[in-house]
A and B are shown apart, each in its own frame.
Chain A
Amino acid sequence: MSFPDNQQNLHSDTGAQAPVFVRMKLKSFKEKSFQAITYTAALLTVACLLGIIFGIFREGLPLFESVNLKEFLFTNSWYPTHAEPEFGAWALIAGSLAVTLGALVIAIPLGLGAAIFLAEIAGPRLSELAKPVVELLAGIPSVVYGLFGMAFLAPLVRQWFDLDTGLNVFTVSVILGVMIVPVICSMCEDALSNVPKNIREASLALGATRAETIFKAVVPAAKNGIAGSILMGFGRAVGETMVVLMVAGGAARIPGSVFDPVRPLTSTIAAEMGETVIGDLHYQSLFALAIILFLITFVSNLVTEALLIRRDGR
Chain B
Amino acid sequence: MKRREFTDKLVTGVMALMLGLTALFLLVFLVRMFGQGARALSWEFLFTAPRNAMREGGIYPALVGTFLLTGLAMLIALPLGVFTAVWLTNYGRPLWLVRILRVAINTLAGTPSIIFGLFGMAVFANLLGFDISLLSGGLTLAILALPVIINNTEQALRGVPADFREASLALGATTRQTISRVLLPTALPNILTGAIISIGRVAGETAPIMFTAATFYSRRLPRGLFDEVMALPYHIYGLMTEGTHPAQQVPIAYGTALVLLILVLAISAAAIITRGLIRRKRQW
**Interface residue ranges, A against B (CB under 8 Å):** 3, 6-7, 10-11, 27, 30-31, 34-35, 37-46, 48-52, 55-56, 58-59, 109-114, 116-118, 121, 132, 135-137, 139-148, 150-152, 178, 181, 185, 209-212, 214-215, 232, 235, 238-242, 245-246, 266, 269-270, 273-274, 278, 286-287, 290, 293-294, 297-298, 300-301, 304-305
Q: Chain B's interface: helix, strand, loop or mixed, by majority?
A: helix
In the complex, are the beta carbons of A211 and B7 less than 8 A apart?
yes
Residues of B within 8 A of A27 (CB): 174
**Interface residue ranges, B against A (CB under 8 Å):** 4-5, 7-8, 10-12, 14-19, 21-22, 25-26, 29, 32-33, 36, 79-84, 86-88, 90-91, 97, 100-101, 104-108, 110-119, 121-123, 126-127, 143, 146, 150, 171-177, 179-180, 197, 200-201, 203-207, 210-211, 233-234, 236-237, 240-241, 250, 253-254, 257, 260-261, 264-265, 268-269, 272-273, 276
- A43 smallest CB distance to B (angstroms): 8
In the complex, are the beta carbons of B264 and A147 less than 8 A apart?
no
10 more CB-based (< 8 A) A-B contacts, given A52-B119, A141-B203, A143-B257: A44-B84, A139-B201, A141-B204, A143-B206, A178-B25, A211-B12, A239-B112, A239-B113, A242-B237, A270-B117
- A267 smallest CB distance to B (angstroms): 9
In the complex, are the beta carbons of B18 and A117 less than 8 A apart?
yes
Residues of A within 8 A of B272 (CB): 132, 135-136
Residue pairs across A and B with Cβ atoms less than 8 A apart, 16 shown, are A3-B172, A38-B87, A48-B108, A56-B115, A110-B18, A110-B22, A114-B18, A117-B15, A136-B265, A139-B265, A148-B29, A151-B250, A241-B112, A241-B206, A242-B206, A269-B114
- B168 smallest CB distance to A (angstroms): 10
**Cβ 8 A contact of B176, one of A30, A45, A266, A278:** A30
In the complex, are the beta carbons of B112 and A117 less than 8 A apart?
no
Known A39-B91, A181-B22; judge A148-B32 contact (CB<8 A). Answer: yes
Known A140-B264, A141-B204; judge A11-B177 contact (CB<8 A). Answer: yes
In the complex, are the beta carbons of A55 and B123 less than 8 A apart?
yes
In the complex, are the beta carbons of B83 and A38 less than 8 A apart?
yes
Known A38-B83, A246-B240; judge A56-B104 contact (CB<8 A). Answer: no
Residues of A within 8 A of B106 (CB): 301, 305
Cα separation A113 to B179 with both chains bound (whole Å): 43
